[in-house]
Amino acid sequence: MTITKSSTKMKEKSPSKDALIIGGGVSGMQAALDIANQGFHVYLVEKSPSIGGRMAQIDKTFPTLDCSACILTPKLSEVGRHPDIELFTYSEVKEVTGEEGNFTVEVLKKARMVEEELCSGCGQCIEVCPIEVPNEFDQNLGFRKAVYMPFPQATPSVVTVDMENCIECSRCVTACEREAINHSQRDETITLNVGAIIIATGYNLFDVSEYSRFGYSKFPNVIHAMEYERLINAAGPTAGHMIRLSDGKIPQSIAFIQCVGARDVNKGVPLCSRICCMYGIKNAVMAKEHEPDTDVTVYYLDIRAFGKDFEQFYERAKTRFGVKFIRGRVGEVVEDPESNNLIVTVEDTETGEVLQVEHDLVVLSPGIQPPPELAELVEKIGLDVDENGYVEARDTLSTPVDTTISGVYVCGCAEGPKDIPDSVSEGSAAAMRATISLNDGGD
């Protein structure tokens, strides 16, 4: 089915006062709010069933250790109920033509097999669904049903039927008093007319299994940082109990290995990912907060604590929490097959000594990369990317959120690695630039 939408009356070639944001993470949400609060209509297209992005998966945030969900949830509900923000979740941009003031955008709204206006998110369908599959939101460490909501605060608060795993037993259909489940729903193509576009597609984690010497996916007690975030999260698969995957025991000694897939020319990832030092320190501190007697060591190349209060946070990790820091690139991680403990070999570059240290759990801190779909998206729009695959800014110094196409802007990690405060600031900056396009209509 094809639908054409515009909130303003479409006269031939008259500039559109609507904006499109692609990506519903914290930067895209901020951009949407800032544009909509100025009275413009915003379409927010998100590929997954809910907005929220990576911040929804994170437990606490550095350097204040505020609960991530406590900051994100009010923003989720503000976006979800804003009269001038129209959400297209579980959707993708298929085609973009036109120019500043008058872009025509085709959006594929995938069938989630649920009538969104009827679903209340009560979860009765989830209770009766007999199929359990690994939960990608929990980094596949827990399970979800074939009909599911990715997380409790998911926005919109509606379920999605995962047809790849659904056995069409119709128990969800019968359980739904509102008759919201519709297994015969089909994909829709929606055509939007917008005056400005913001790319806010965020990042993917570097695939740490490319470093076979660290033993990820070979040794059960080698995990990566986003898995760790889910393990220590009270709403995660272990209800916040930080356990080893091999035996469910609480680790007495944890190693954090930094710069996995960052600052490594040999792997084609020369860029510093900017966030890993701080989230690595945060995760080390969280280990101590959970179990103060745990022995915690961070293996690092350099500590780049460049933001406000970051250096103090690093100092507190050492002095108040007793986290150990060893400078050196880890050579390899091997497993003792009897205990499933891990032996980390590293040259301490401050003493020149080669160390072999045994730990119960190893957490790899991966760098980040553009999501693979970004290359396809920028090609559709005709945008340039930089040598690392991120959207290229027209001028990184003077117009950092403008792209090489007028009327198209970028914010957050779609432009390059950055933390939440910087992603939010860029969301606001891109919104400001986009409203200039909407007001001028490309003149």
Ligand X SMILES: Cc1cc2nc3c(=O)[nH]c(=O)nc-3n(C[C@H](O)[C@H](O)[C@H](O)COP(=O)(O)OP(=O)(O)OC[C@H]3O[C@@H](n4cnc5c(N)ncnc54)[C@H](O)[C@@H]3O)c2cc1C
The residues binding ligand X (CB under 6 A) are: 22-28, 45-48, 53-55, 58, 61-62, 92, 200-203, 205, 225-226, 229, 275, 279, 282, 368, 371, 373, 377, 412-413, 418-421, 423
Tokens coding 187? 């994909």
Task: Return the residue matching tokens 């209770």.
Answer: 127
Residue 109 CB, nearest approach to ligand X (Å): 12
Residue 29 CB, nearest approach to ligand X (Å): 7
| Minimum CB distance to ligand X smaller for 172 or for 323 | 323
Residue 258 CB, nearest approach to ligand X (Å): 12
DSSP states of 234-294: TTSTTTT----TTT-PPPSEEEEEEEETSSBGGGTB-S--SSHHHHHHHHHHHHHHH-TT-
Tokens coding 169? 């037993």
Per DSSP bridges, beta strands 60-61 and 41-45 are unpaired
Q: What distance in Å separates the CA atoms of residue 171 and residue 163, rounded to the nearest whole number?
A: 14
- Read off the amino acid at residue 19: A
Tokens coding 441? 């209509």
| Minimum CB distance to ligand X smaller for 172 or for 275 | 275
Task: Note the residue count of the chain.
Answer: 443
Tokens coding 51? 């907005």
Q: From 254, 282, 314, 310, select the one nearest 65 (Cα to Cα).
A: 282
| Minimum CB distance to ligand X smaller for 53 or for 237 | 53
| Minimum CB distance to ligand X smaller for 260 or for 330 | 260
Q: What distance in Å separates the CA atoms of residue 254 and residue 287, rounded to the nearest whole number?
A: 8
CB 113 within 8 A of CB 420: no
Tokens coding 84? 């001038």
Residue 416 CB, nearest approach to ligand X (Å): 10
Longest dimension (CA), the chain: 73
| Minimum CB distance to ligand X smaller for 202 or for 251 | 202
Residue 260 CB, nearest approach to ligand X (Å): 11
Residue 141 CB, nearest approach to ligand X (Å): 14
> Within a 10 A sphere around the Cβ of 93, how many other Cβ atoms?
24
| Minimum CB distance to ligand X smaller for 72 or for 181 | 72
Residue 389 CB, nearest approach to ligand X (Å): 13
Residue 374 CB, nearest approach to ligand X (Å): 7
| Minimum CB distance to ligand X smaller for 52 or for 407 | 52
| Minimum CB distance to ligand X smaller for 71 or for 131 | 71
**Sign of the C-alpha dihedral, residues 399, 400, 402, 405?**
positive
